[in-house]
Chain A
Amino acid sequence: MHVPEDDLVLHYYGELASQDEGRVSAHIAECRDCHTAYRRLQQMLMSVDDKALGVPELPDGFERIVWARLEPSLERGRGGWLSRLFSSPSRLGWVTAAVVLVVSAFFAGRLSRQMPSTPGTPSTAVTATAANTAANQNQVRERILLIDLGEHLDRSQRVLVELVTAEGAAADFAGERNRAEQLVWANRLYRETAAATGDSSVVDLLDQLERVLVEVAASSPDSSERELADVRRRIESGSLLFKVRVVSSDLQERRKAAMRQTGQRSSL
């Protein structure tokens, strides 16, 4: 009786149970049909490699691109502050020393002076404050987004203009590269804030901007003229500069409107 195909597969990968392995090996050695079937299976499986799978050859500088995309997420991504503090013995030592100092200071203060007893805060006032805080949170977030994002877009615009208009080799753009690297991090934060406020047009723009900033930040001084031209083409073909200007002036209008609203409210 011949070896079933599934057993040939298991034999190829060394996955047959030890008691079956010897029997199957012996049979393949003796049986011409099974020997042929196994040889064909071997040849077929050996041809399935990375090249056949279409795994691309990665470009030089791939690692830099990975890092440029990753770095902004890391500070927020690291586990909670507690796990960070306790992850290393040296930090744990510092934390312990700091805790001892704070506790000592606390008790020293208790011994040196008696705190006057303060009257309890009325619970209604606490509730009102909490309600106000909650109500203001969205407005504050919106205002921060309007002011800071406007500045961020201005800074990004300057980098993009410099890249599109200036002439020269990649090595001349060290300044833009550094600025782009700093802007990537801020850009991601603004995008998340904009997403939280449901501002999809800003989210789309920041998304597009981030891709270009990452590319600029990850470019090396050895980047060829062609790579630089690609970045420029991407900025121009996506009308990125135009979109940045439109959103920037829209933000300015919204900021003015918000300020007028605040002025009216405070004059009431």
Chain B
Amino acid sequence: MTHTDAATVALARDGNSEAFRALVEHHSRAVYRLAHRMTGNPSDAEDVVQETFLRAYKQLGRFESRANFGTWLHRIAVNCSIDLIRARPRREASHDVADLEVMNAPPVTSKAVEASPERLMLSAEVQERITSAMTSLSQMERAAFVLRHFEGHSIEEISRTLGLKVNAAKHSIFRAVKKMRVALEPFVPAE
């Protein structure tokens, strides 16, 4: 925790709302990014941001000043995202890898493209496929994958956070990667 953050947290714990405002302003973008990755939805991400700071405010008294405020807040944001994901009505059925084969139609071109407009088109198509593949993940697969891939959490940490057995967390990540691979295979240039 930076010296400034530590001093601001101390003031906020004393009930100084301007200090808490400074913390909100300093960390809200990072919390939003995490929330959006986890929920995949801008309005859910906004709700998670609000809930995260509200919980942080309520629990400031329990925050240990030696700890890193950003890390502490990050953990709260992950929990808020998980709570929101769990509260969502369960998807009717998560897509199977086989479903994604449909997406596996040949892209505009399967070889590396040099010309810049075509390259842009290709990257837009890649993005579209990644978005579709992410949408096809079950909520737990998405959460596990995001925590591993974007947030750098270990599989053991992920299993604790999501309340899964280590093997179940591992397999959620495997399934997620497999779906991504199937969706993106045609875009990866052959060696």
Interface positions of A (Cβ within 8 A of B): 5-6, 9-10, 13, 15, 36, 39-41, 43-45, 47-48, 50-56, 58, 62-64, 66-67, 69-71, 73-74, 77-79, 83-84, 86-88, 90-91
26 contacts between A and B (CB under 8 A): A6-B174, A9-B177, A13-B148, A39-B191, A40-B185, A40-B188, A47-B184, A50-B150, A53-B37, A53-B40, A53-B131, A54-B127, A56-B36, A56-B42, A58-B29, A62-B28, A62-B32, A66-B50, A67-B28, A71-B17, A73-B50, A74-B17, A74-B20, A78-B15, A84-B15, A88-B14
**How far is the CB of A86 from the nearest CB of chain B, in Å?**
7
**How far is the CB of A262 from the nearest CB of chain B, in Å?**
39
**How far is the CB of B77 from the nearest CB of chain A, in Å?**
13
| B25 proximal to A (CB < 8 A) | yes
Dominant secondary structure of chain B at its interface with chain A: helix
> Given A9-B173, A67-B24, A53 and B17 touching (CB < 8 A)?
no
Q: How far is the CA of A52 from the CA of B40 in the complex (A)?
A: 12
Q: How far is the CA of A54 from the CA of B170 in the complex (A)?
A: 25
**How far is the CB of B57 from the nearest CB of chain A, in Å?**
5
**How far is the CB of B97 from the nearest CB of chain A, in Å?**
12
**How far is the CB of A107 from the nearest CB of chain B, in Å?**
31
Which residues of chain B in 150-191 are interfacial with respect to chain A, using CB atoms and an 8 Å cutoff? 150, 154-155, 170, 173-174, 177-178, 180-181, 184-185, 187-189, 191
**How far is the CB of A159 from the nearest CB of chain B, in Å?**
23
From A54, which residue of chain B is reached at the shortest CB distance? B131
Q: Name the 8 nearest CB pairs between A and B, nearest first.
A: A87-B61, A63-B25, A52-B130, A66-B28, A55-B36, A88-B14, A44-B184, A40-B188
From B155, which residue of chain A is reached at the shortest CB distance? A15
A62–B177 contact, CB under 8 A?
A: no
Q: How far is the CA of A160 from the CA of B9 in the complex (A)?
A: 37
Q: How far is the CA of A87 from the CA of B16 in the complex (A)?
A: 13
Which residues of chain B in 33-59 are interfacial with respect to chain A, using CB atoms and an 8 Å cutoff? 33, 36-37, 40, 42, 49-50, 53-54, 57-59
Q: How far is the CA of A40 from the CA of B173 in the complex (A)?
A: 17
Knowing that A52-B131, A53-B130, A74-B17 touch, tell me 20 more A-B residue pairs with CB under 8 angstroms. A6-B174, A9-B174, A13-B155, A40-B185, A52-B126, A52-B127, A53-B37, A53-B40, A54-B40, A55-B37, A66-B24, A66-B32, A67-B25, A71-B21, A74-B54, A77-B58, A78-B57, A84-B61, A88-B13, A90-B14
Name the B residues within 8 Å of A43 (CB-CB): 188-189
Which residues of chain B in 75-122 are interfacial with respect to chain A, using CB atoms and an 8 Å cutoff? none
| B134 proximal to A (CB < 8 A) | yes
**How far is the CB of B190 from the nearest CB of chain A, in Å?**
9
| B6 proximal to A (CB < 8 A) | no
